[in-house]
Amino acid sequence: MISRRRFITGAFAIAGGGSALTTLAACSGGSSATSSSMSTELQIVQRFPQVLVPGNVRIPVSLANNNGLLSMDSGTELPATLTANIVNAETGEIVVGPITAKRHDKGLSIPYYPFRADIDEVGIFSIVIDGGPTDGAGIQIMDPSQISIPLVGSALPPFDTPTVDNNRGVNPICTYLPAACSLHNITLTDALALGKPIAYLVGTPAHCSTGTCSPALEALLQVSEKLGDSMTFIHAEIYTDDTATVVAPAVEALNMTYEPALFITDAQGIVVERLDAVFDADEINEVLVTLGLQ
């Protein structure tokens, strides 16, 4: 177990993984946590945007030090699992816990720990890691009426995403290297009419300042190769061109303020899961197994 003195609290440091544009403010590339003794301490770094609502909440975190997020080859031994409690920030009461999260690092240079918790009320909470400080790292659970992005249980709205045959003003339609990925052959609108589950990724491999979008796309490609035609897989970029200055219509259609995000629907087009900010192929597969989609 990592000792308490080795942890300090992160402050909404990396809530997402891509563009530095203020229009996608959750995709910041740096850490805002500060400490006079940070050089020998570890931080809890939040890897989730503040669009959480009551229900089953996904809370991915990473670890960092004074030099930034810790990678697998940073020289710091990272634990295989972390254990935590969810605490009401006002009362100090433990509302969920203890809960554990395994380290995920498949295809990622920066590993993360995706905690899951059932939080039923709107409010301010903290995730307190064993070995960390008692104040933990902040979590805001919001009223669903204040969130415009599609939530679990809602219908994924149809949208004519750019395809190989029609880029719809987005060029390039895919910034994945060395060549565009294979997930641009059908629009989201047409996919919703097929009556099959959908995995819809919105993210930009080329303009992702914290390096999560390209691994996210690679993870989705791995899963798509495994599942074939049993699901429909779609990718949409977040900018209209390589200048990365104009947000693409796909982002506006979902009212997104961060990226990447992976929307998984059932055969009726209802969102059954949404993975935000950071995820790997292992977690996508775990979600699909849990949902009975593979």
* Distance separating alpha carbons of residues 166 and 154, to the nearest angstrom: 28
Widest CA span in the chain: 57
The domain limits of the chain are: 4-143
> Alpha helix (H) ranges present in the chain?
188-192, 213-227, 249-253, 281-290
4-143 placed in CATH 1.10.3470: no
Band (25; pLDDT cuts 50, 70, 90): very low
Please report, for residues 108, 165, 239, 251, the alpha-carbon distance to residue 245 in angstroms, rounded to integers and kept in the order given: 27, 24, 7, 13
What local confidence, expressed as pLDDT, does residue 207 receive?
A: 78
DSSP label at residue 22:
G
Tens digit of pLDDT for each residue in 259-293? 889 999 999 999 999 999 888 888 988 888 888 87
Tens digit of pLDDT for each residue in 252-263? 999 988 888 999
pLDDT over 70 for what percent of the chain? 84
Tens digit of pLDDT for each residue in 52-80? 999 999 999 988 887 788 888 888 888 99
Cβ atoms < 10 Å from Cβ of 26:
22
For CA atoms 42, 119, 278, 258, the dihedral sign is negative
Look at 189 and 69; give whichever has higher pLDDT. Answer: 189
Q: What is the DSSP string of 63-75?
A: EEETTEEPPTTSS
